[in-house]
Structure 1
C-alpha cells in the first residue's frame, strides 16, 4: 500500500520514544525503592507503538520502522559524539556535564543497539504470529504476550552486557527482573490506549494485515502491505 500520513505519524512517535528514552536513561530513579533508569518512563511506549504498527500494518512495515529507529538513533549518537569532540568556546564550561548526559561508552552503545533490535523484532514477530493463531481475537493477549517476551529479552541483554562485570549475580538478576516487570505492567496499564489507536487506524486506513505470506527475515526490508 502507499505509505499513509497516519503510518508516518506512528513511526515518528516510535522513533521519538526510542531516542528520548536513550537520553533519559543516564539518570537513575528509585520509585518505590526500585532502581531504574529514567528512560523507563517512555521506552515502553516504543513497544506500544510497535504493537500498533504490527497489528495494523503488519510485520513487514514494522520491520522497516524498527530499522529506521536503529539508524536514527545511530545518527543521534554520532552527532552527540561529534559535538563532544569539537573544541569548547572559552565562555562555555559545561563539557563534563555534556559528556555525562550525551556521551556513551562503546559497551553501553553496543548493549543498547543489540538489545533494541533483538527485543523489538521478537515483539513484532510474536505479535504477528499470535494474530494469525488467534484469528485476530484477544488483542490484549497478543500485545501483553509479545511485550512480555520482547521487553524481557531487551532488559536481559542490555543489563547483562553493561553490568555483568559490575554487579554480583543476585543484584544483576534483580535489576533485570525489576525492569522487566515494570515494562510489562506499563503495557498492561496502556492496553486500553492501544485498543483505541488500533481501532481508529483500522477504520481510518481500511487496513488489517495478517502476515500469512510474510518473510520474517529481519534483514529483508520493505514497507508494502496488503489489505486483509
Structure 2
C-alpha cells in the first residue's frame, strides 16, 4: 500500500471514529425521552413491547462502526476506538456537570430547573451507559474476531450478527439494571424494556448487515485488499 493510500485510510478511520463518538455521546444525552414504536400493538410483562428510549436510535451505529473497523483495520484499532469513546463520555459528563452547577441568569431561556430536569440524571445515565458500553463493546469485538478466525475470514454476516446480538443483549441488560438500581427507571418497566430493547437492537443488527457488506466491499475495492487482509495504519 502506498503512503497516499495509508494517509487516506487514516483519514477514513478518523471519520469513522468521529461518527462513533458522536453517536455514543448523543445517545447518553437524549436517553430520558421515550417513544412508542408501534408496528405491532403488543404487550409483554405488562409493558408495551416497543416503548423505547430515543437514546437507542444512534447507539446501534456504534456497533456497526466497530464491526467495520474490526474487519478492515483489525482488533487493536477497534479497541482503540472503544477507549477513546470512554474518554469522550467522561469529558461530556464533566461539561454537563459544570453546566448544571453554574446558576442561570434571570433572563436565560433555559432556567436551572428546566436544565436540571433534562440533564440532571445525565451523570448517572452516562455512568450506567459507560459500564454497559464497556462490557458490550469488548464482547462485540472479542466475539467478532473469534468468528473471523473460526471461519477464516468467510461468512461476514455470521460474525456481524452473532457478535452484535450477544453484545446488544449485554448492553441492554447492564444499562437497565443500573438505571433501575439508581431509581431512574421503575423496576416494573425492567422486563418489558429489556425485551423491547433487545428485539429492536437485533432487528437493527439484521438491517445493518447489508451496509457492513457495502462498507467492506468499498474498502477492499479502494485499497485493493485481499481476503482477510487488514489495513495497518501509520
TM-score (norm 1): 0.85
Is the contact between residue 163 and residue 172 of structure 1 (CA under 8 Å) also seen in structure 2?
A: yes
Is the contact between residue 58 and residue 210 of structure 1 (CA under 8 Å) also seen in structure 2?
A: no
Name which of 44, 59, 71 aligns with 1:55. 71
Question: Which residues of structure 1 form unaligned runs of 5+?
Answer: 212-223
Residues 207 and 122 of structure 1, relative CA distance in 2, 3 Å threshold: farther
1:2-25 C-alpha deviation (Å, 9 max, x unpaired): 771111111111111111111221
Is the contact between residue 60 and residue 225 of structure 1 (CA under 8 Å) also seen in structure 2?
A: no
Shift of 1:28: 0.8
Residues 44 and 208 of structure 1, relative CA distance in 2, 3 Å threshold: farther
Instruction: Give 1 or 2 for the bigger CA radius of gyration.
Output: 2
- In the TM superposition, 1:38-53 aligns within 5 A as 38-53=54-69
What is the distance in 2 between the residues matched to 1:74 and 1:207?
36
Shift of 1:205: 3.7
Is the contact between residue 17 and residue 42 of structure 1 (CA under 8 Å) also seen in structure 2?
A: yes
Partner of 2:120: 103
Runs of 4+ with deviation above 4 angstroms: 206-211, 224-227
Shift of 1:119: 0.3
Is the contact between residue 202 and residue 208 of structure 1 (CA under 8 Å) also seen in structure 2?
A: yes
Is the contact between residue 96 and residue 122 of structure 2 (CA under 8 Å) also seen in structure 1?
A: no
Partner of 2:41: none
What is the distance in 1 between the residues matched to 2:225 and 2:21?
22
1:66-119 C-alpha deviation (Å, 9 max, x unpaired): 010111111011101101111211211522222222232654333211101110
What is the distance in 2 between the residues matched to 1:105 and 1:43?
16
Question: Which residues of structure 2 form unaligned runs of 5+?
Answer: 1-5, 39-47
Residues 206 and 125 of structure 1, relative CA distance in 2, 3 Å threshold: farther
SS at match of 1:29: strand
Residue 217 of structure 2 corresponds to residue 199 of structure 1: yes
Residue 107 of structure 2 corresponds to residue 91 of structure 1: yes
Aligned residues: 213
